[in-house]
Amino acid sequence: MSASRVGTAFLNKAKLPVSGLHGAKCKHSKAKSTSKRPPTKPPRTRANPQIDDLHLKPKPKSMSPRLMTFFGVSFLGIGTYCGYLYASYKREVAYSKTLEVSKDVSDRYNKTARQFDADVDMSEYLMGMGSKRRDLIQMARGNVLEVSCGTGRNLSYYELPGKKSRPELEGCRTVTFVDLSPQMVEITREKFQKLYPGIKRVAFWVKNAGEVIPPAAWGKEAGKEASYYDTIVQTMGICSMPDPVETLRHLGSITEPEKGRILLLEHGRSYYGWLNNILDNTAAAHADRHGCWWNRDIGEIVRESGLEIVEEKRWHFGTTWRYVLRPRRKDTGGS
Ligand SMILES: C[S@@+](CC[C@H](N)C(=O)[O-])C[C@H]1O[C@@H](n2cnc3c(N)ncnc32)[C@H](O)[C@@H]1O
């Protein structure tokens, strides 16, 4: 008997179908399929199951060609401009290193006076300097001295006698405008006459701020030994003076000791080292061209002057400084 015949005989004896257990399972499933349920389709299978998902997920929106062009052109423009700025900065640093510039650069304003306003208008507008000037100048009252007046950029903010005054302000009795540059003083005078025709209590002097003396008559009128200004104003002047500490000390000595105030709006060093490095690296070239040392530490200069700080504020990364100062009171031991 062959081996296969022996196997078949054994299975017959056991009364099992030749197909064995598998056959029994099929019988069972056949019984189920006779129920009334509709026949279910076998699930579709794909080689890559993710292909099915692609139909279900929402398509990601693509950027419109217009927008892509806009961004492309903008990035290119900004990149080119940054490159240009960097190249100019490098050139300016290299040029600065070749210069030996004297501390006193104030004579530059004689040449640049007529274009000064055009040079600074845009940057002052972008920095919102108009409101900062206005807020400072509207504190001025009594006999006022403005030193380093330049082209008279503060003129329109004064509360002058004859100008419609705001009732809460005492306003200005007299105003004296002083600058070292005759060209600058002339521009202030022209602007003033256009802005305030007929207002008389005003004077224009070509003078060093460190040598101004108030009229002796004021002291006599006020029953005091000396004459003083009630308010002294200076905006963007410290950067141009050869000796700002001495000048501030002098201004302190001619400010009314009790209620008198010195109002400063200046520009100089920043809070940030990286910005100070830029200012330092290009200071010589800037001073030589514009007559302004833009890297001065205004806070240090004010402290050295010995004047008392009533208020200090800073803006624009700390480069714009505003001070309200007063002469140091005798009992506090200052100069
Ligand atoms: C940067 S300009 C500022 C002008 C103006 N105050 C303003 O806010 O636009 C500096 C001015 O200070 C003047 N200046 C420099 N040293 C001075 C001094 N020792 N006495 C008076 N004016 C001086 C210059 O002639 C120049 O007009």
Task: Report the SS3 class of residue 136.
Answer: helix
- Pocket flag, ligand 1, residue 208 (CB < 6 Å): yes
Which residue's C-alpha comes closest to atom 26 of ligand 1?
A: 150
In this prediction, residue 37 has a pLDDT band, given cuts at 50, 70 and 90, of low
Place of tokens 């006076």: 113
- Pocket flag, ligand 1, residue 282 (CB < 6 Å): no
In a domain, residue 64? The reply is no
- Write the pLDDT tens digit of every residue in 48-78: 655 555 566 777 778 888 889 999 999 999 9
Q: What is the DSSP string of 4-60?
A: HHHHHHHHHHHT--TTHHHHHHHHHHHHHHTSSSPPPPPPP--SSTHHHHHHHSPPP
Q: At what angle do helices 65-97 and 273-290 cross, to 10 degrees?
A: 70
Tell me the C-alpha distance between 218 and 256, whole Å.
11
- Write the pLDDT tens digit of every residue in 270-324: 999 999 999 999 999 999 999 999 999 999 999 999 999 999 999 999 999 999 9
Q: What is the mean pLDDT of the chain?
A: 85
Region 244-253: mean pLDDT is 98
Q: What are the backbone dihedrals phi and psi of residue 317, each rounded to the nearest 5 degrees, phi first?
A: 60, 20
In a domain, residue 242? The reply is yes
Percent of all residues in the chain with a pLDDT value above 70, rounded to a whole number? 79
- Residue range(s) defining the domain that contains residue 305: 108-330
Which residue's C-alpha comes closest to atom 14 of ligand 1?
A: 148
- Pocket flag, ligand 1, residue 240 (CB < 6 Å): yes
In a domain, residue 102? The reply is no
In a domain, residue 152? The reply is yes
Residue 165 predicted with pLDDT over 60: no
In a domain, residue 4? The reply is no
Number of domains in the chain: 1
Torsion angle in degrees (nearest 10) through CA of 122, 150, 269, 96: 80
Torsion angle in degrees (nearest 10) through CA of 42, 43, 47, 48: 170
In this prediction, residue 164 has a pLDDT band, given cuts at 50, 70 and 90, of low
- Write the pLDDT tens digit of every residue in 1-32: 444 444 444 445 444 444 444 434 444 444 44
Q: How far is the CA of 151 from the centre of ligand 1 (A)?
A: 9
In this prediction, residue 330 has a pLDDT band, given cuts at 50, 70 and 90, of confident
| pLDDT number for residue 234 | 98
In a domain, residue 99? The reply is no
| pLDDT number for residue 45 | 59
In a domain, residue 55? The reply is no
Tell me the C-alpha distance between 327 and 329, whole Å.
6
Residue 227 predicted with pLDDT over 50: yes
Residues in the chain: 335
In this prediction, residue 225 has a pLDDT band, given cuts at 50, 70 and 90, of confident
In a domain, residue 289? The reply is yes
Region 206-216: mean pLDDT is 96
Residue 106 predicted with pLDDT over 80: yes
- Write the pLDDT tens digit of every residue in 69-105: 999 999 999 999 899 888 888 888 888 888 888 888 8
pTM: 0.78
Beta bridge partners of 262: 232, 325
Structure tokens at 125: 């507008």
Place of tokens 């002291």: 219
Q: How far is the CA of 199 from the centre of ligand 1 (A)?
A: 24
Q: How far is the CA of 322 from the centre of ligand 1 (A)?
A: 16
From 103, 105, 106, the mutation candidate for ligand 1 (largest count of ligand atoms within 8 A of CB) is 106
Residue 230 predicted with pLDDT over 80: yes
CATH number at residue 163: 3.40.50.150
- Pocket flag, ligand 1, residue 149 (CB < 6 Å): yes
Residue 213 predicted with pLDDT over 60: yes
